[in-house]
Amino acid sequence: MTGGTRPGEATTKENEHVSGATVWLTGLPSAGKTTIALELARRLRAEGHRVEVLDGDEIREFLSAGLGFSREDRHTNVQRIGFLAELLSRNGVTTLVPVIAPYADSRDAVRKRHEAGGTPYLEVHVATPLDVCSVRDVKGLYAKQAAGEISGLTGVDDPYEAPETPDLRIESQDQTVAESAAAVHALLTERGLA
């Protein structure tokens, strides 16, 4: 039988595997993680990529409702997000995860899950200094902590273990959102993922 496809059958080009990847943006509250992720998502979608942004606040509301902010609950939250990210990524979705994930062992477990499945995983440290984050204070968390209204704020009175060897470190206070997003895009391109 010679070439050609039957009605409804995909062509070779349509059957080519589209590689997804997880880009985990970790950093302090108000570091700029979500802002960078949204700009990067816009760029990738404009290029025709399938993209999802797993926002930490939305995940807590819909997937991790009932979890608190103890070390154990934070670890559980990160593992749930990591599972979802890996599931999406291995199915051809570029998954951007702007989530604090304050503990190195939690982030390492997510990386190992991706590596076990052969799913690309990039860790981006949005390394905005605490004093800059507290001025930005997008959600008013630093002000509430200073007023004694909340405790356990990551980087202030709860630990943040910065990545020692991230795939990319962004000093967001020294560049525009567009430049930060472009840096992550360049990394994806370099790794053959964009």
Known binding residues: 27-34
Integer CA distances (angstroms), 164 to 26, 67, 73, 82, 167, in order: 12, 28, 23, 20, 10
Sign of the alpha-carbon torsion through 24, 45, 19, 189: negative
122: which residues sit within 8 A by CB, 6+ positions away?
A: 21, 22, 23, 24, 167, 168, 184, 187, 188, 191, 193
DSSP for residue 174: G
With a CB cutoff of 8 Å and minimum separation 6, the contacts of 96 are: 23, 25, 37, 40, 41, 51, 52, 53, 54
Annotated binding site for ATP: 27-34
Whether 129 contacts 173, CB under 8 Å: yes
Spatial contact of 26 and 126, defined as CB atoms under 8 Å apart: yes
Task: Spell out where 30-173 has E strands.
Answer: 51-53, 94-98, 121-126, 168-170
